Structure 1
């Protein structure tokens, strides 16, 4: 996986995709929440529009309790 400190963006993307896959199976709601929260703890150095959309999507999902 992308846990190397230099791969924070890839790790955040991997966590996001993992949560989408877990949701698609209808399983592991606790794991989905945990991975979304972990993604949001990664430093937000990325300010481009796609990074902001991803963080907004994750924040919204966490706020909704999804």
Structure 2
């Protein structure tokens, strides 16, 4: 299991002048943790829930074929 840091999430939000994840958005790891990405703010981005769902689905399909 991949461990996520609440502290890093808070730092990401602070860097973007946010106190919480906006409604309808999720924090995404640009390079997934499961593929060696880091759990640091430089590897995080805000995506809409739908964008995040599509990206995650695509990444899972890619992982299965490799």
State the TM-score, normalized to the length of structure 2.
0.36
Of structures 1 and 2, the larger Rg is shown by: 2
The structure carrying a bigger strand percent of its residues is 2
State TM-score, norm by structure 1. 0.36
Query: Which structure carries more helix by proportion?
Result: 1
